[in-house]
Amino acid sequence: MPRKGKGPKGKRNGGRDDPAWSRTDVIEREHMHNDRLEKYYKAQNILPEQEWDQFLEAMRDPLPTTFRVAGSRQAARVLNDIIKDVHVPHLAGVVFEGEALSPPQQIPWYPDGLAWQFNVAKKVLRKSPEMKKFHSFLVFETEVGNISRQEAVSMLPPLFLEVEPHHRVMDMCAAPGSKTAQLLEALHAHDTLTSSSLPSGLLIANDSDYKRTHLLIHQAARLPSPALMVTNLDASIFPAIKIPSGQTAFAAGTKARVAAKKQYQLLFDRILCDVPCSGDGTLRKNPGIWKHWSPMDGNGLHSLQLRILQRAMRMLKKGGRIVYSTCSINPVENEAVVAAALKSIPGFELVDMSNHLPGLIYRPGLTAWRPTVTREINTEFATYEEYVQSLDESERAGSKMLESHWPPSPGEAESIGLTRCLRIYPHLQDTGGFFVAILQKKQPVRPPAASTKRTADAAEGLDRADVKKPKLDTQEDDKEPEVEQPDDADEELPEEPEETSMEVDQPVSTNTALPAEPKIRFKKGKTAEGASAHFKENPYTFIEPDDLIVTACVENFDLSANFPGGNMLVRNPAGDTVRSLYMVNDIVKSIVQHNDFARIRLMTCGTKVFGKQEGAEAKRDGVDSHFRVLAEGLPVVLPFVGPRAVAHADFAALRILMEGYYPLTSGFAEPFRSMIDAKANGSYVVRFQPGQLGDATLAHELVLPIWKSNVSVTLMLDKRAKSALSLRIFGEDITSAARDAAAKKQKGESEATPGAAVVDAPVPVLEDDNADVLDSPTATGAAEEE
C-alpha cells in the first residue's frame, strides 16, 4: 500500500495528503517524466530493453475502472449474472460523441469471472445516459457492499492466500479494507443467498493509523462477520495474542490449577503483509508521483517492511502461509525484503504459485539489483562491502544503508528461489504495478521414533552435572507433565511478569556502527505503542445468556436452542445493554476474554445483530422489548430464527414497502394483510417469495427485517440500501427517498430558473479502494460507544 506523507498529521509536500498526489489533471502527459525514476529502474534491469518504451507509455495512461462482485459466492454469482446478462448487453454498441464505447469486460484471471474492467472517462459516465445508469447501479451496490471498487492488482494477494472458513487469518496493514473484505468473503465461503455461516476461523484486521481504522471498519461493515476483529497497532511490533489452555489438550493427571495457568500464543494459518511502500506502481492513478518520486523513499521504508514481515513470520503456524505484497516495483522494497527475511529466520520457503491464476501475465522476481546510495541515483556499488569501504570511518556510523538493501549472492538467490516472486507491470495486462511473494512455514521433519532409555554403559560416561537430581515431593504439585504438542499447536507463553518485553528482529546488517533499535516495552493494561499512549475506545463486555434483554430477544424471535447466547456482548465497561448487541464466534470470544482490550487496541469485533428501537414510535407501540433485528445482522441470526418471528409475502408486498415509508397494513393484499394484522407490534423477518411483477423479476427468495406498528409496517433498511435493492430488482429507484429528493431538486431549480428543464440528480463518483478520505461520518467519526 502507498504510504502517507511524513510530518505533522501525516502531511508533506507530494505526500498522499497533498491534493496533487491523487488528482489526474495536475500534470499533462507530455510532462510525465522523471529522469531519476527512469535512470534508476533502467539500472535495475527490471525489463528487457525492447519492453521499456511500452512500459513507460503504459505508466502514463489513465488506469481503467475495475471492480469485483463481493459477498458470499452464491450472492456474488447472482449479481454477476445481472451484470453479464442485463447491463453488458445494454451497454454494447453505445456511442458517445461519435465514438463507440466498450462495455465492461471480465478480468481473465479472476476466479468465476467475478471481476470486471472498463475504460470510460468520467465525462462519459456523467453525460452518457446508458453509462450514467450503469454507474448509478455500481455506486449503490458499492454502498451496500455488493460491489468493491478495487484496482485489479489489489485483488491478487487474498487470492494467493487461499483462505478457508476454519483458518485464523491476520491482515497486518489492512486499511482501507478492500483486501480485508476479500479475506472475510473467503471465511464466509459457506454463506447462502439469505443467511450467513458462523465460521470457526478468525480475521484480525490491523492498521497503525487510528483514523484509517475507521475507514477499515466502514469497509468491513459491508460484510458483517462474527469472526472479525479490528486492531490499531504498529504491525512491526504486534503483541502476542493470548488464548486459554482450554484450546490445547493436556495429559491425563495434569493438575487443574496448573492447566489454568497456561497461556498460549495464538498462531495464524494465513497472514497478509500488504506493507506500506513508496507506491510507484500506482503512477497511473497518482500522477503526482511523477513530480516527487525519489529512490530514497524505498530505501527508507526497507527496514520497516522487513520488520513487519519478520513479525508475521514469528506469528505463523507450521504449514501456514504469508503473502507479502507492495504496489511498488522497487526491488529494495520487494525482493530485498523477502531475501533478508528468509535469511534471518530459518524454516521458511518461497512457494511457486505461478500457475495458480491461469490468465495472469507476470514476470519472475529479480535475483540481482543495485540500490542507489544517493538521491542522484548512484548505483555504482555492486555489494554492501564496496559501499562501506568507500565511506570514511566518520561517515559509516551515520549511514542509513543496510546490507539487506543489496541482493544476496547468486547462489543464495537461487537457493532462496527469488524467481518464484511475481512482478506485475502495467503494460502486460493494462493494470498498475505490483509485487507478490508467497512464503510458507515448513512442516518439521519428524525423526524416527527411538527408545529414550539409556543403557548402563551410556550412563556411566555422564558427568555428575548431567545426571538428573531426584525430584522433591514439594515440587511435584507445581511440576507439569510434559505433553507432546501437534505441529500446528499454538505456542506456550511464559507466565507474564509485571513488565514484559517484545523482541524485535533486527534488519540483517554487518554495519555494527548502526544504533540498535530499542526494544518495545509495555506494561499490563498499556499499549504496545508506549505507556503514554491513551486508548479512547470503550471495551467489549460479554453479557450472560440469561440477561433480560437476551432472553427477550430469544423469545421475540423464537430463537432455537443452539443460538449462541453466550457469545453476545455490548460496548461499555459495565456490560449494560444500552443500544446494540454484538455477536462473535468462539475464537473471538476467547481472545476478548483473555487479552487486555487496550493492550491490543481493539477497535471493533463481531457484528451488531440487535439494536434498540428508539423514538416515540417504539414507546407508543408499547412492545415488551424495544430491540429489533438489524439488517446487517439478519444473515447471522437468520439460521436461528423460528417460525413465530417470520412472515411470508409476495413480490407485490415488497414493492409497496419500497415505495412508502410507513405503508398501512390495510394497503396490502391477502393473505399478508391478515397475517401481519394478527401479529403483535415489534420486529419481524419477512421472506419475500420469487415472482414476476410487470417487467421486474425477483429471481430468488429475499429476506428482510420489518417493524410492525399498530396500523403500519416499515421496511427496516437505510435509504442507500433501499435504493440499491430497487435498482437491482426494478431497474429504477422507486423509493420514497428518491421521489422526495427529485421533488426537492425540481422545486429548487424551478425557483432558480422558472421553466428550466430538470436534470437527474448527480450520482456520487465511485471511489476506489485506495481512497484515503471518505466524506462520511460513518468512516471518519469516532467509534460508536454503546
Beta strands in 167-258 (DSSP E): 168-171, 202-206, 228-231, 242-244
So what's the pLDDT on residue 448? Answer: 61
CB-based contact 635:607 (threshold 8 Å): no
First-to-last C-alpha distance (Å) of the chain? 32
So what's the pLDDT on residue 249? Answer: 55
Question: Helix, strand, or coil here: 263?
Answer: strand
Helix (H) or strand (E) holding 637: helix 634-637
Give the integer Cα–Cα distance in Å for 124 and 131: 7
CB-based contact 672:690 (threshold 8 Å): no
Count Cα atoms within 13 angstroms, Cβ side, for 348. 27
Give the integer Cα–Cα distance in Å for 61 and 105: 18
To the question of whether residue 174 is assigned a binding role by annotation, the answer is yes
State the pairing for strand pair 228-231/202-206.
parallel
Q: Which of 114, 44, 151 is nearest to 766 (CA)?
A: 151
Give the integer Cα–Cα distance in Å for 685 and 715: 10
So what's the pLDDT on residue 245? Answer: 62
Give the integer Cα–Cα distance in Å for 149 and 158: 15
Give the integer Cα–Cα distance in Å for 607 and 571: 12
Q: Which residue has the cell 424495544?
A: 626
To the question of whether residue 442 is assigned a binding role by annotation, the answer is no
What is residue 498's DSSP assignment? S
So what's the pLDDT on residue 393? Answer: 85
CB-based contact 510:403 (threshold 8 Å): yes
To the question of whether residue 417 is assigned a binding role by annotation, the answer is no
So what's the pLDDT on residue 515? Answer: 34
Cis before 507 (ω within 30): no
What is residue 666's DSSP assignment? G
Give the integer Cα–Cα distance in Å for 401 and 391: 12
User: Amino acid letter at 358?
Assistant: P
Give the integer Cα–Cα distance in Å for 238 and 204: 11
Q: Which residue has the cell 492488482?
A: 153
To the question of whether residue 300 is assigned a binding role by annotation, the answer is no
Give the integer Cα–Cα distance in Å for 115 and 173: 23
Q: Which of 442, 419, 277, 275 is nearest to 345 (CA)?
A: 442
Q: Which of 54, 269, 300, 301 is nearest to 183 (CA)?
A: 269
Identify whether 277 is a catalytic site residue. no
State the pairing for strand pair 580-583/541-542.
unpaired
Give the integer Cα–Cα distance in Å for 452 and 108: 57
* Residue 652: other Cβ atoms inside 10 A: 14
Q: Which position among 273, 277, 327, 553 bears the catalytic label?
A: 327
Q: Helices marked H in 390-491 — which ranges? A: 393-396, 410-416, 426-429, 456-460, 473-476
So what's the pLDDT on residue 139? Answer: 87
Q: pLDDT for 584-629, tens place per residue?
A: 999 999 999 999 999 999 999 999 999 988 755 555 555 455 789 9
Q: What grid cell was written down for 530?
A: 508506549
So what's the pLDDT on residue 100? Answer: 86
Give the integer Cα–Cα distance in Å for 707 and 470: 73
Residue 689's φ and ψ, nearest 5 degrees, are -85, 150
Question: Helix, strand, or coil here: 185?
Answer: helix
For the chain, give percent helix, strand, coil, nearest 5: 35, 15, 45
Q: Helices marked H in 45-99 — which ranges? A: 49-60, 73-82, 88-91
Q: What sign does the CA torsion over 428, 113, 326, 61 have?
A: positive
Question: Residue 555 contacts by C-beta under 8 Å, 6 or more apart in sequence?
Answer: none
Q: Which residue has the cell 511524513?
A: 6
* Residue 49: other Cβ atoms inside 10 A: 8
Q: Which residue has the cell 396490502?
A: 668
Q: Which residues of the chain have pLDDT under 50?
A: 4-25, 247, 451-485, 496-532, 623, 756-767, 769-786
Q: Give, in degrees to the nearest 5, the angle at Cα 366 between 364 and 368.
A: 155
To the question of whether residue 176 is assigned a binding role by annotation, the answer is yes
Give the integer Cα–Cα distance in Å for 42 and 39: 5
Give the integer Cα–Cα distance in Å for 417 and 436: 13
Q: Helices marked H in 662-773 — which ranges? A: 672-677, 719-730, 736-752
To the question of whether residue 280 is assigned a binding role by annotation, the answer is no
Question: Residue 292 contacts by C-beta under 8 Å, 6 or more apart in sequence?
Answer: 13, 14
CB-based contact 761:741 (threshold 8 Å): yes
CB-based contact 697:728 (threshold 8 Å): no
Give the integer Cα–Cα distance in Å for 335 and 354: 16
To the question of whether residue 175 is assigned a binding role by annotation, the answer is yes
To the question of whether residue 8 is assigned a binding role by annotation, the answer is no
